[in-house]
Amino acid sequence: MSLPVPLSVTLETSRRAMRITRQVRDLQFRTVVPGGYADCTISLHRPLTYLPDEIAYYGRLYVHDARNGKVVWEGRVEDPGRSAGGDGTVWKLVAIGPSAHVEDHRQVYVMIDQSLPNWERSTTWSEPGSRTTVTDVDDGDTPALLLEAPEGTTVPTGWTADMIYRHIKTAGQTVARLACEVDNGNTASWENRLVTRLSSGTIVDSAAWSTSPAALAASIGSGTPIPAGDNVAHVRITRTGGTITATAASWAEFTDVVILAVRMDASGNDITSGYSAATSVLASDVVTDVLGRMLPQFDGPNAVVATTGYGIEQFAFIDSATPGEILDALMEFEPGYFWAAWESGSTGLYRFEWKAWPGSVCYEVDVTDGIEAPGSAVDLYNRVKVRYRDGRGAIRVIERTQVVPELAAAGINRTGWVDLGDEVGGRQAQAERAGDQFLLDHRTPLNQGSLRISRPILDRTAGLKVQPWEILPGTIIRVRGIQPDVDTLNRSDRNGVSIFKVISVEYDAGSATATLELDSWAPSLARQIARLTRARERRLRKR
């Protein structure tokens, strides 16, 4: 085509909705995954002596396709910069897409916690002479909560040792399930108890002491119900018989302690059933909870949340997290998925999706308009070490391996590093999965390059020819004109040579060109600094 770019730009505030297409000096916008609409920049000539009705903090900016009325980009004005100089008085407006909403809020967040250091001794319910510790069981490397009456202690009827979990309360959430296995030193007149509490406590499960390990469990809405609204949990031992002097066998070991919080649906309603056998959560369930709990600007009820398959056994942010950090952590367990927020609907809420990377090529294009494809080997790894904290709080490191033909041929071993921090590691199986996912992503060279498109291309998925401004990230693109391997036409996943993931798309109306970033972010000094800063903040927060 060789006509004016058919995009229209509209600003909307509570005072005015104004079409400003003919007045903008430049227009650039960017979409990314994860995230969706990222940012948009326009410049307008307006006086500085007053605030025009169409410009306001958090005013909406829309870019529409004039051919068909579809939203091409949408967001809110966050940086209405003003300048005066050789070009006169210019407002440079930077609008941020709805993805910014995931950083609007920070709170403590618990879905499932099997980390025993997060339990504390309850001084209110524990007798002064009682002992409560986090330890390992003698017969294995199994973390345990040890509650005991030290040998020689006088133990009257009702004597109690108690450990408490408060983080669900701190998070503003409620307890869905509490379960464990418990072993005792003797079978005397003692009782193991699980207690939950909002104000007064409820014994939700209990059993007399036994020298054979036995399970205790309670869930909301199940046969041994946790009362709705309870937000504090206890594990407790209580003397039920007469007064004795404690022996070396006056102990209880609580292992496999798992506590789950009540999840919300995407509308923000508590899900009050389905926890009775749960020992893990799905990433998709967490996404739904985050939508309903913390992201009111997203259209939760109409969001598309693809169901994931991996059961996450440890997912608790007791030092707080934003929804963005939570979603990032979920993608570490499910790197085949991403989230994105797009245009607003009739309710004014933004469309949200959590979806899997497509299993088929979407765009077909050639390199005529320009490509840079570094394809650096620096991102090839055949080994990875994963650091995590186990249930006892001890730091663990495991190693995973894979075969990378290029490294094998060169006789080189390269080891990557994944730090799961304190929040989400917890279990060896999870650490192994995170390591395996890292290796999968580093089996073939990441392109980390860019592709320019200035002409219509084929969208195989939609059956349409799309213009450069219609190209979306979160898709797979096949590029002709690059050395293909014999499998190029049959493959649907990234191969680092001619099939790539589209990570971001930036469109510039001045050059009528879209620039795609492939496989991962193109290296830049700003991104390297941001990555290092995030890594440093995680290390400081933990220790």
Partner 1 sequence: MALIARFVDTIASSPSVRLNTHDGSTWRLTNQSRFDPPPAKRARVSTLLTDGAIYPASAYEDRVLQLRWSVNAASTDAAATQIQALARELDRPNNIFQYQLPDMTNPVFFRTQRIGLDEIDILTDGSRLRVTAEVLAESCAYGLPQTLGSATVNNNPAAGSNGMFFDITGVLGDVETPLVMRIDHADVVETWGKQSVFAVRRRGTPSATPFFLQAESMTQGTNTTVQANDAAMSGSSNNFSRCTFTSAAMATRLSTSAHPSSASVDARGRYRVFLRYRKSVSGDEIDVRLQWGDSNQPITNATQSLPAGVSRRYTDLGEVQIPVGVDAETDLTGAPRSALGIHLAIQAERVSGSGNLDFDVIMLIPADDRLALVYWAAVGGPSYAVVNGVADAVYATNASDATSAEAPVVALGGLPAVSPGVTNRIFVMVDVNPLAAQDTIGDSFTIVPSYVPRYLHVRPPST
The contact set with partner 1 (CB under 8 A) reads: 1-6, 8, 10, 12, 16-19, 21-22, 62, 64-71, 302, 346, 367-370, 452, 454-455, 458, 460-465, 468, 481, 510-513
DSSP characters over 137-169: -TTSS-EEEEEE--TT-EE-TT-EEEEEE-HHH
Nearest distance, CB of residue 284 and partner 1, angstroms: 19
Q: Which is nearer to partner 1, 102 or 472 (CB)?
A: 472
Nearest distance, CB of residue 469 and partner 1, angstroms: 10
Q: Which is nearer to partner 1, 95 or 434 (CB)?
A: 95
Q: Which is nearer to partner 1, 1 or 486 (CB)?
A: 1
Cα three-residue angle 328-333-337, rounded to 5 degrees:
70
Nearest distance, CB of residue 451 and partner 1, angstroms: 12
The region, left, alpha or beta by phi > 0 then psi within -120 to 50, assigned to residue 152 is: left
Q: In terms of DSSP bridges, do strands 304-305 and 350-356 run parallel, antiparallel, or are they unpaired?
A: parallel
DSSP characters over 417-456: EEE-TTTS-BSHHHHHHHHHHHHHHTSS-----EEEE-S-
Nearest distance, CB of residue 10 and partner 1, angstroms: 7
Q: Which is nearer to partner 1, 17 or 94 (CB)?
A: 17
CA distances to 399, 419, 420, 466, 470 from 432, rounded to whole Å, are 8, 12, 11, 41, 39
Separation between Cα atoms, residue 542 and residue 539, nearest integer Å: 6
Nearest distance, CB of residue 51 and partner 1, angstroms: 17
3-state secondary structure of 28: strand
Nearest distance, CB of residue 37 and partner 1, angstroms: 16
Nearest distance, CB of residue 463 and partner 1, angstroms: 4
Tokens of 255: 């292992």
Cis peptide before 456 (omega within 30 of 0): no
Q: Which is nearer to partner 1, 429 or 458 (CB)?
A: 458
Q: Which is nearer to partner 1, 1 or 540 (CB)?
A: 1
Q: In terms of DSSP bridges, do strands 7-12 and 17-19 run parallel, antiparallel, or are they unpaired?
A: antiparallel
Q: Which is nearer to partner 1, 64 or 442 (CB)?
A: 64
